[in-house]
Amino acid sequence: MVLISIFLSTMTTDSSTNPLASILLLFFTSLVVLFLIPIIFRRRNWRNAPPGPRGWPILGYLPYLTKGNIHGILFNLSKTYGPFYSLPLGQKPGIVITSPEVAQEILKHKEASFSSRTITEAVRTITYDATSCVFVPHSERWRLLRKIFNTELFSSRAIQLLQPARREQVHILLKSLYDSSKSKTMVNISESLLVATTNLTSTLVCSKSLFGNIEVRKLLSGVFAEVFTPNLADFIPFMKMLDLQGIKRRLTKVAKEMDRAFDELIDERLEEKKKGIKINENGRLDLLDVFLDYKIEGNDKSFKQFSRVDIKGMFVDMFLAGSDTSASTVEWGMAEILKKPEVHKKILVELDQVVGKNRFIEEDDLPKLIYFQAAVKEIFRLHPPVPLLLPRRSNEACEVYGYHVPKHALVFVNIWGIARDPKVWPEPLEFKPERFLESKIDIKGQDFELLPFGAGRRSCVGLPLGLRMVQLFLAALLHSFEWDCRADTLEDMTEKDGVTLHKAKVLMAIPKSRLLDSVYQ
């Protein structure tokens, strides 16, 4: 703006007698030429690119992604350019997939070419340079981390050993809501769920409920907000040093505070180990135990155990992936079910038949709730926690359906858009659990019409626990209480802008107990 003001003021004099005016005139003429020539002469985003909008020079299609939800904008583009199209994102090439067939081609048949993650500046700042399981490049290190998570933290045995902790957090939530019901207090369901799911995640991480601490809650809430905000610096390399949106600056400050808190947790556990104190007597290991004690076997003498930085990176992974997304999914589920009295009634009848009204629901009850399980699938279909999944990146240049995909292209699989495609789902905008009663389609990554946890090598490693958390918390809230919802928060299903899927208006309601009073004591 300063340059433009100077330019306009100097144009009032003869440029031949004003050298500054001549220089500025040349500068702006060159700028206009540089912007216009690529628009006039460019026919594709790159040679043999899939069809797609061309966008602006330097900025690409980014200016058009600033208003509204990105997944919705990209879905609308697929109606013009098809289910596989190219998209220039600043200085980076991108491709967007909006069909099960193309998703299967990318995530299964050509997975070796698309098995790395896109690392944003925010992720790099908060996850200790992206060395953790979710973001580390596909490599021997990634395979080792994946193996440890699968065998030590998310195996059937490990999840079973964590069951008492899940039961405890559910009961704490239900008893808190019972107190609210007695005083007829309006409850912020989103906030209540976030506290419960994050405490459960922290129990898995370090065997403590951290989210009761107000300072920790502030820290994690700040991380959620910043990490999932689109950042120009991720698409236009020279903007990294400018940090125009201030995301890196703010996250660096939060990261220092989190780092200090994580160091205290690690120091405390090391001191307990030195004194021979066992945190978990039932044989369950938390993430901190697993990575502090893990000794790596093999020929690589330079890497025999995990460093403190490695462990802190895993902490961040778990909190980002395990709490916020589960809480938002349960909130969407509550809203969808309460809006449909006939669906709500069927679920309550089933819950009362299986569980009754003289106890809280237990995890062993969940497999018997056939209609409820169908409703959970329908929630994940319409409201996937991460609508574009975590973006992948092409490891190498390759061909897909005869089109060229450059090396390091950003890959977006729009599972939100797939769920709204009438060619894939009849009446796609309707919340209909019945569609899954006779269907074999599942959410575990084998059916590409429904991929809330992703598919293939980079699918969500915490799927078994994440699914269990959503099912248990949602069933408990519906079974234990009737809900008098504030009308505007129930009817308004607008999505909040961002990478993860949240209700713009959080669900507010007054709970009313529907079980025997003695159950809540």
In sequence order, which residues have a C-beta less than 8 Å from that of residue 512 and are 6 or more positions away? 181, 481, 482, 483, 484
Whether residues 361 and 462 fall in one domain: yes
Q: Is the distance from CB of 222 to CB of 126 less than 8 angstroms?
A: no
Asked if residue 67 belongs to a domain, the reply is yes
Specify the range with the lowest mean pLDDT, choosing from 89-93, 278-282, 420-424, 430-434: 278-282
The CA–CA distances, whole Å, from 53 to 44, 64, 78 equal: 8, 11, 10
Whether residues 258 and 397 fall in one domain: yes
Segments forming the whole domain that contains residue 136: 62-520
Whether residues 142 and 16 fall in one domain: no
Sign of the Cα pseudo-torsion (88, 108, 76, 466, in order): negative
Q: Is the distance from CB of 132 to CB of 141 less than 8 angstroms?
A: no
pLDDT of residue 131: 82
- Supply 518's token pair: 């003695």
pLDDT of residue 188: 95
Asked if residue 53 belongs to a domain, the reply is no
Whether residues 337 and 428 fall in one domain: yes
How far apart are the C-alpha atoms of 516 and 512, rounded to whole Å?
Answer: 12
Who has greater pLDDT, 380 or 280?
A: 380
Asked if residue 47 belongs to a domain, the reply is no
Highest mean pLDDT among 23-32, 138-147, 274-283: 138-147
Whether residues 335 and 397 fall in one domain: yes
Closest of 285, 366, 367, 379 to residue 329, by C-alpha: 379
How far apart are the C-alpha atoms of 140 and 298, rounded to whole Å?
Answer: 12
Q: Is the distance from CB of 245 to CB of 233 less than 8 angstroms?
A: yes
When divided into structural domains, the chain yields a total of 2
Whether residues 380 and 474 fall in one domain: yes
Asked if residue 50 belongs to a domain, the reply is no
How far apart are the C-alpha atoms of 366 and 347, rounded to whole Å?
Answer: 12
Q: Would you place residue 240 in the very low, low, confident or very high pLDDT band (cuts 50, 70, 90)?
A: confident
Asked if residue 74 belongs to a domain, the reply is yes
Asked if residue 248 belongs to a domain, the reply is yes
pLDDT of residue 300: 52
Whether residues 111 and 24 fall in one domain: no
The CA–CA distances, whole Å, from 82 to 95, 202, 237, 392, 455 equal: 12, 42, 29, 20, 22
Phi/psi at 377 (5° precision)? -60, -40
Whether residues 18 and 146 fall in one domain: no
Q: What percent of the chain clears pLDDT 70, i.e. is strictly above it? A: 87
Whether residues 95 and 33 fall in one domain: no
Phi/psi at 60 (5° precision)? 60, -135
Using the predicted structure, report yes or no on whether residue 66 has a pLDDT greater than 90: no
Mean pLDDT estimate for the chain: 87
Q: Please report, for the domain that includes residue 185, its CATH number.
A: 1.10.630.10
Using the predicted structure, report yes or no on whether residue 208 has a pLDDT greater than 90: no
460 marked among binding-site residues: yes
Whether residues 309 and 450 fall in one domain: yes
Who has greater pLDDT, 279 or 105?
A: 105
In sequence order, which residues have a C-beta less than 8 Å from that of residue 415 and are 6 or more positions away? 103, 384, 387, 388, 389, 450, 451, 452
Phi/psi at 410 (5° precision)? -80, 135
Whether residues 108 and 32 fall in one domain: no
User: Measured at the alpha carbon of residue 96, what is the angle toward residues 90 and 100, in degrees to the nearest 5?
Assistant: 170
Asked if residue 57 belongs to a domain, the reply is no
474-484 residue pLDDT tens:
999 999 999 99
Who has greater pLDDT, 224 or 334?
A: 334
Instruction: Name the strand (E) or helix (H) holding 260.
Output: helix 247-274
Whether residues 399 and 452 fall in one domain: yes
- Supply 334's token pair: 């509550």
Secondary structure of residue 392 in the 3-state scheme: strand
Asked if residue 487 belongs to a domain, the reply is yes
